[in-house]
Amino acid sequence: MTGAEFVPLSLPPLVIGICAAIACAVPGNFLLLRKQALIGDAISHVVLPGIVLAFLVTGTLSAWPMMIGAGIAALVAVGLIEAVRRLGRIEPGAAMGVVFTAMFAGGVLLLEQSDTSSVHLDVEHALYGNLESLIWLDATGWSSLFDLEALAGMPPELWRMAITTLVVLVMCVLFWRPLKLSTFDEGFAQTIGLPVNLIGLGLVVTAAIAAVAAFDAVGSIIVIAMFICPPAAARMMTNSLEAQVLWSVVFATVSAVLGYVLAGYGPLWLGFENAVSAAGMIATVSGGILALAAAFGPCRTRSGAPVEV
């Protein structure tokens, strides 16, 4: 394939996919270790009512109101889950299930009630995303990357996703030590005076930012898969947190690239005409990586656990 074809059609979705995968996978490592892996699932369901409400309030489909709406919905959900858990003395999983299903149902109802058929806002779009359609029409080849005029025509999702990824990575580097401490030994972290609850909240908010930004560009299915699968596979590879985060970034990148390529060209190789969903394929590839890691990873069992024969 030539640059003239690759750069406008495949480069932006690939970069966006990689950024989304990394932005979700890095905080996912900590969520996984804190047994909050399903927060990503909950967040990606509850942003729907936020997006619909933002559309109803502003009447436009522009990105910023939607992201703000989704962010607010995510925060409301986290608060509600905590409130239900404490007020009702219910275990976290059930509290999460109650809140996210109810909010998702509310979102679907709002969507059906409001007249959104004229614009491109529907549940399937929210689930699958539209990675394939994020093309860069102004590009003519590799040289366009240095052409300011052409760069301005890049899909705006690319800049948003790149900035979000950068923010997530910087946050993780900045708060690395407190995060690590409070994740592994909350009691100790508290004793040496770390604001443990604040760190936990900050992590969830960072995850929500990553989820909301990625949701807009690539759909919720990638978000949920990237929060869990690359960190889970990485967990089977190593016992050190630093190495685990690096592995998860590698796995996330491989999932995004391989998934995108397989979705776009796999069916062609097999003799079919149409491409399949890139978002679905990226999730599928990440599952394949996880399966391999679970079968062969060097650290796949709990240390000290009896080996099943």
Partner 1 sequence: MLLEALTLQLGYNATLVTVGAMLLGIAAGATGTFLFLGKRALVSDAISHATLPGVALAFMLMVAFGGEGRSLPGLLLGSAVTSAIGLLCVSALTHRTRLSEDAAIGAVLSVFFGFGIVLLTVIQSMNAGRQAGLESFLLGSTAGMLWNDAVVIALGGTLVLLAVLILRRPMTTVAFDPEFAAGAGMNVRRIELAMMGLAMAITVVGLKIVGLILIVALLIIPAVAARFWSHRVGHVVLLAGTFGGVAGYVGAAISATAPALPTGPIIVLVAFAIFLMSLLIAPARGVLAAMLRHRRFQAQVHVRQGLLALATDQPIYERLTLRLMKRRGLVRADGVATETGQAQAARALLDERRWQVLRSDPAHAEAAAHYDGLTPLDTVLTPDQLKALDQGLGPRATT
Which residues form the interface with partner 1 (CB under 8 A)?
A: 32, 35-38, 40-41, 45, 84, 87-91, 93-98, 101-102, 104-106, 108-109, 112-113, 123-124, 127-128, 221-222, 224-225, 227-229, 232, 235-236, 263, 267, 272-277, 279-284, 286-287, 290, 294, 297, 299-303, 305, 308
The C-alpha angle with vertex 173 and arms to 170 and 178, in degrees rounded to 5, equals 125
Nearer to partner 1, 120 or 300 (CB): 300
The distance of Cα 132 from the centroid of its chain, to the nearest Å, equals: 17
Q: Give least dist CB 86 to partner 1, A.
A: 10
Neighbour-count burial for 164-177, b at 16+ CB within 10 Å, e otherwise = bbeebeebbeebee
Q: Considering the complex, what minimum distance in angstroms separates the CB of residue 161 from partner 1?
A: 19
- How far is C-alpha 219 from the chain's CA centre? 9
Nearer to partner 1, 139 or 208 (CB): 208
| CB of 212 vs partner 1, minimal distance in Å | 17
The residue (of 146 and 302) whose beta carbon lies closer to partner 1 is 302
The span from the CA of 196 to the CA of 217, in Å, is 32
Q: How far is the CB of 111 from partner 1 (least distance, A)?
A: 9
Complex with partner 1: residue 176 or 296, whichever CB lies closer = 296
